[in-house]
Amino acid sequence: MPNKILRYAIAGLLVFGLIAVRMFETKLFYDPLLAFFKNSNHTILPQMDLIKLYTHVFFRYMINLFLTVIIVKILFWKQSYVKFTIIVGIIGFVLLLPIYAYMLNNNLNFGEMIFFYVRRFLIQPMFMIILIPCFYYQEIRNKKATLN
């Protein structure tokens, strides 16, 4: 296990990688829904190439998942946490992408905000935001259990 300061510095750089994905999203990925959600008047979905959109959502999700897995590996240095992160990421994608596609193909009939949050889980590293505090909590519990 490398030096803790070095691990945190590398994890910080990887978080900047996630931030860079977000900062350059308009240049890196095809997503006509970015302008749709930035506009306050969400009446009509823009014309879009769905295959291209799904492909770019897939690549963006994989980039975010890859960086998240590396961050978890560097922060905790436990293979079980890495495996769990990969499993949660794959299950999340397998469950969320069909919901995303169904809602998009049905013009958001189930509600715009539900679609917004499903989309957010696909294009943002939301699983990292959820899992890392859970892993820290698990580490604290394990330390307390070994002290008792």
Kindly report, residue by residue over 85-135, the tens digit of the pLDDT.
999 999 999 999 999 999 888 877 777 788 889 999 999 999 899 999 999
Q: Which amino acid is at 131?
A: L
What pLDDT is stored for residue 43 in this prediction?
66
pLDDT of residue 107: 74
Angle ∠(22,28,31) on CA atoms, nearest 5: 80
Q: What angle do CA 11, 139, 82 make, to 5 degrees?
A: 50
Is residue 44 within 8 Å of 70, Cβ to Cβ? Answer: no
| Model confidence pLDDT, tens digit, residues 10-49 | 999 999 999 999 999 999 999 888 888 777 666 677 888 9
pTM for the whole structure: 0.88
DSSP 28-62: HS--THHHHHHSS---SPPP--HHHHHHHHHHHHH
Q: What is the pLDDT, as a whole number, of residue 111?
A: 74
Position 64 pLDDT exceeds 90: yes
| 47-to-25, 36, 90, 107, 113 alpha-carbon distances in Å | 19, 11, 29, 11, 20
The answer, yes or no, to whether residue 138 has pLDDT greater than 90, is yes
